[in-house]
Structure 1
Amino acid sequence: MTTREYAKNLFAQWSDDDFCNQPIFDKLFFQVLNGQRAVNAAGIQPINFTRWRKAMRDGDHLPAVRDLQAALVRMERRGFVFTDEDTGEVLVRSRIRRDELDKQPTMFLAALRLLAVIDSPKFAAVLADELDRMDVPEVKGDKDYAKRLRDSINDTHRAARAHLKTLADGYPQPFPEPFDGLTEGPSQGPTPRPSSGPSEGPTSGGSTGPTPRPGETGPTPGPSPRPTQGPSGSGSGSGSLTLVTTQVGGTRARAHETAEPTPAPDEPPTRCKAHRDNPDAIEDNCGPCANFRKAHERWTEHQTRAQAQARADALHQAAQLRAHAIATCDLCDPDGYLPGTSTVCNHNPTQAETNARGRQLVQAALRRTEADTDA
């Protein structure tokens, strides 16, 4: 990981026809990739769709992972960015030349050391051509430091070229495209970001009920309405609906059936492409698998924090709505109860009238029943 605080945005790229002919989405994504802290001196960084989606958001909307994958395929076809699903990395091809490391001996040496140990045959083929396009920087001077630096650069340059050529030997050309050649443009309906706080003012549904008074049992809520069953069997509210089969005189056939969890759309895999379809493969010493596991651990930690924050936000919003409903109601006391009673107020000013009308109807029906019986 680099310790730099910026990335170069060259004037020349904005007059380059091939670069400018890209969709705006791809040009911005290239800038995002080039400006990531995780990119090293060779231009390589791990795949991180979660971070990239946040950087590419448009207002409150996030692009789908599929949109980013399609852009990576398009940029690879133009030769700007290359993706290796096996190692879980992307390469900004011209990073060394864009940063003019070939004019900075010590930085060029750092990049050469990275080139000498890369794992991706695909990147090796790309960077071997890149290295041939660059001159080795000249180190002037006869002091010991200059001599050591000059010798180190020359030795590492030879080692890097040999490693890249050997690793790239036999790799298929043209390169197999990542993500099965996906090239669709950005989706028309990007994923909205969840709200970071409660909405202003109350929403329909009113209070969730007052806090029980000291020494009292809190009001028992009535039965919750059944959620409307959708095509997938999930309820219209939060959570899921468990279907239970019953028969008269029989027993429940099934109380719960555990379904296989569906991965989130941006959930990274835990194994490299070579081992992904073979769960019994031994991959303890596989570097790409280790990178994927670390990426998945980071993603899981981020998801856990996000879910905890969402629950806290929901509780905070419910408390705000409850307090607002009580504060604006002329019927209940500050605790949410009808004055002098232990009845929970429903904040409906016509409730008493409705109850009285209902009692009148019931009494009238009883009188008719008694009259019919006497007759």
Structure 2
Amino acid sequence: MLKESIWRDKDWRLLPRTAQATYVQLISQKELDRAGIQPLQVAKWAKGCNDLTAEDLCADLKVLEQHRFVFVDEDTDELFVRSYMRHCDVARYPNILKNALRCARMVASEKLRHELAKELRRLHKADADQVADAIDPPGFEPDFDEPQLNGSETLPNPSETLPQTVPATVPERLNGSETPTEPQGYGSGYGSVTLGSSQVGGAREREPNADNEPPPDSNDPPPRHCPKHMPGGTLDPCGACKEHRQRHDRWLANADIEQKRAQQAAAREEASRRAQLAVDRQLAITDCDLCDDNGYRGAHVCDHIDRTETTKAGIAAVRAALAKGSAK
């Protein structure tokens, strides 16, 4: 359930009712990752209402993008909920932030990476800034005019719980809703709506624990082709396929680096094991009175076991057996 204060926000109230409903539908999707990215699934979303068509939903998405609530790239089939990370407070939780940064690196669309990079910089975290610099396409020019604010302007705060003054370096205004969600977040299950660090609707927030840790990265490489040209690709020029190939190649390069690191770690571990064996062998030679300084007893490698008494006992037993046989 959304906070009641959203309905008093001027930017939110400018949206048509269907666009508002579509936004609520988007932020309740379980496919929404921690970076605010989800696959573009117009046909699926249109099935959420019997009176809604795919064309109607596309019109809502266009309105939401015009008001900078979401951004859509039809070439890569991706959608970005712009202020999701900040107002789900992902920067507050290191593991969740780490997962969000991994998700950000996997975005294929240059358009969405450009917007995502700006949002990452607004988290004011060094690792988020590094990822932003890595994913922001150089020389990218958006197809729309980005609104500007001066450094003294304070942005609207419909939640009434997250006052925020925009620094002079932020070249845009906040999303009017201030209500992105954490679909698998702290204190909520699939489909619930979380605002900032509080649970919307009065439910008490729970701290993250081992049960909701971000899932580990997949061992499978990302696809080489865009969804439209899977699985075999196309011979025609396709910008989305190019981005997927680049992402695939980066994944392979990183995997090769990780493999080399693992091999180096295994080699170091083996060298350490051999060194310890050498130390143990030398100590055994030093403590042994049976072998020479090289660990040999005569022509054989010494096992440092004194078998003198055992041999004597064996000889005595044999002699006793022979003597018993002769007596009979």
Q: TM-score w.r.t. structure 2 length?
A: 0.44
